[in-house]
Amino acid sequence: MTDTGRRIRPLRPLDARPARYPTPAQAESAARRLALRHPDRCRLREVGRSRAGRPLVLLSVDRGPHAVLVVGGPHPNEPIGTAGTVRLAEVLLDRPARPGLSWHLLLCLDPDGAALNAGWLDGPLTMRRHYEHFFRPSFEEQPELLPAPGSGRPPMPESLALTGLIDELRPFLQCSLHGVDFGGAFAQLTRPVLGLSGRFARSAQRAGVPLDVDSYDAIGWASPDPGTYLMPTPGTGGSRALPDEPELSTWSYAARYGAVTAVLEVPMWAVDAVGDARPHPAGAQALAAAARDLTARAGELAALLPGVAAHLTGAHGHEAYGPLLRTAGSSLAVAPRVAEEWLQRWGSEPLTTSRVTTAELVAARVPLRVASVLLRLLADARGPAAEAARDRARAVVTDSLDRLRHRFGARWVPVQEQLAHQTRAVLTTADCLLR
C-alpha cells in the first residue's frame, strides 16, 4: 500500500473556542465551505435520501485508491458522530494529502432521527435538557443494522445508501462514529488492529475520559486489550437479549472487501468506575439489585404506555408520533430480557466493578430514556389520567438523573475533548492499518 512508512501526524492542539454539536444542516454548510476553500482536494455529493427525503451527504477529501469511509450520525442521540466528520475534514485539510489515500465522510446517516433529537442542540448542553429532547430509534429503524435474511423486512433507504457506498469505495477501513451518554471510551472492531489499543488508551487519557474495560455493549465479546473488543462471528458470543446482531450489520458488510470496521465510542458524561477492572466486593448482589430495578421500572412504564398511546388519537393521529411510540415500546420489551440475561449468565460469577457499573448504568438509563420519550408524547395531552402519567414519568426522570449525577459521579466531557479523542482514534486506526 502506498506510503506505508509515514505515520499520520498527531492532532494539533485544539483552540479555545467553545464547541457545540452541529445539526446535519449545519454540518453540511460547514462541509460546503470546506469544499469551496479546497476545490482541489474536496468533493461534496448526495449519495441517497432518507425515508423522509432528507439528503445523505458525502464529503470526500483527496483522491487516492485506498479509501477510508467514516460514518457520522448513525445514532441521533449521539451528535458527536456528525461533529466528528466535520472536525476530521478540517484536520485532514490542515495537512498535506497523503499519497494513495482518500477519505470519504458521510456527514449523517440518520438525518430523520437527528431532526427528532435536535432540540437539545439549540440550548445549554445539560443532562436534563438532553433527555427532554431525547430520541433514539428502535433497533429495526437503526440504519447500520440490516434485516435478517428471510425476515421479510426490506433494508432502509439509509442502509442501502451506506452499503452502496461500501460497494463503490471498497474501503480498507470503515469507522463508525458513536458516543455513549454515560461511561467511558471503547472501540469495537471486526478484526484485530495491531498497535491500536495502546494508542487508543493514551488518547482517552489525554481527553480525560476512562476506558470502559468490561463494557455491557460488548457482552461476551473477546477483549484482547482493555477498552478494545472484537465483534463476534455468528454463534460465538454476544447478548442473546438484544436484537442488534453485529454479523447482520453494515459493520460486517464491509468485510467482503477485506475492510476492518472500527466502531469508536466516546462518552458525553464520563463515569470513572467503568475503568475499574478490580473485583467488585459484592458483584452478584449489586447485579441482582440492578436487574430487579430495571425490571420493576420497565414494568411500571409499560403499564403507562397504552394510556399514553390512547391520548395520541386526535388531530395528528398515531403516525405523527410513530417513531417515539415504537422506540418506547421496543425498549420496554427488551429491558426484562436484559435483566434476566444478567442473572442467568453472571448471577453467580465474580464480577468486576466495571461490569457491575455498566449494568447499573443501563438500569438507570433505559427507564430514563423511556420516561423522557413518554413525556414528549404526553406534551399536549389533557385530563387527570394524562396528568397522572406525566407525574409518574417525571418522577422516574428525576430519580434517574439524581442517580447518574450523585451515585455514579457522572461528569461532562467538553465537546472539544470528545472531538479530539474521536478524531485521534480515526487517524490512529488508519495509521495502524497502513503501517
Q: From residue 116, give the alpha-carbon distance in Å to each of 55, 136, 376.
A: 16, 9, 11
Q: From residue 151, give the alpha-carbon distance in Å to each of 140, 142, 157, 305.
A: 11, 16, 17, 27
Contacts of 225 (CB under 8 A, 6+ apart): 197, 198, 201
With contact defined as beta carbons under 8 Å apart, do 72 and 81 qualify? yes
Return the DSSP state at 278.
S
Contacts of 394 (CB under 8 A, 6+ apart): 371, 375
Strand partners of residue 103: 61, 68
Q: How many CA atoms lie within 13 A of 38 on its CB side?
A: 22
Helix H or strand E encompassing 46:
strand 42-49
The Cα–Cα gap between 343 and 363 comes to 13
Query: Which residue from 171, 172, 114 is spatially nearest to 143, judged by alpha carbons?
Result: 114
Helix H or strand E encompassing 117:
helix 111-117
* Cα angle for residues 338, 341, 342 (degrees, 5° grid): 90
The Cα–Cα gap between 210 and 204 comes to 7
pLDDT value of residue 14: 37
Instruction: Quote the cell numbers at residue 189.
Output: 472492531
Return the DSSP state at 403.
I
pLDDT value of residue 316: 52
For the four alpha carbons of 330, 143, 255 and 231, in that order, the dihedral sign comes to: negative
pLDDT value of residue 5: 38
pLDDT value of residue 58: 98
With contact defined as beta carbons under 8 Å apart, do 368 and 410 qualify? no
Residue 177 in 3-state DSSP? Answer: strand
Query: Which residue from 260, 250, 40 is spatially nearest to 172, judged by alpha carbons?
Result: 260
Residue 433 in 3-state DSSP? Answer: helix
The Cα–Cα gap between 397 and 369 comes to 8
pLDDT digits (tens, 9 = 90+) for 319-349: 668 999 999 999 999 999 999 998 888 777 7
**pTM exceeds 0.85 for this model:** yes
Return the DSSP state at 214.
S
Return the DSSP state at 254.
G
pLDDT digits (tens, 9 = 90+) for 368-400: 999 999 999 999 888 999 999 999 999 999 999
The Cα–Cα gap between 2 and 100 comes to 5
pLDDT value of residue 319: 63
pLDDT value of residue 424: 98
278: exposed, middle or buried (Cβ count in 10 Å: 0-12, 13-18, 19+): exposed
Instruction: Quote the cell numbers at residue 156.
Output: 432502509
Q: How far is CA 164 from the centre of its chain?
A: 22
With contact defined as beta carbons under 8 Å apart, do 57 and 45 qualify? yes
With contact defined as beta carbons under 8 Å apart, do 356 and 286 qualify? yes
The Cα–Cα gap between 59 and 78 comes to 20
User: Within the chain, which residues score under 50 in pLDDT?
Assistant: 1-18, 315
Instruction: Quote the cell numbers at residue 278.
Output: 478490580
The Cα–Cα gap between 140 and 151 comes to 11
Residue 105 in 3-state DSSP? Answer: strand
pLDDT value of residue 18: 43
- What average pLDDT does the structure give for the chain? 91
pLDDT value of residue 320: 65
With contact defined as beta carbons under 8 Å apart, do 12 and 427 qualify? no
- Bridge pairing between strands 173-183 and 66-71: parallel
The Cα–Cα gap between 69 and 82 comes to 14
Instruction: Quote the cell numbers at residue 20.
Output: 457545540
With contact defined as beta carbons under 8 Å apart, do 429 and 193 qualify? yes
Give the number of other Cβ atoms within 10 Å of residue 12's Cβ: 10
Give the number of other Cβ atoms within 10 Å of residue 57's Cβ: 23
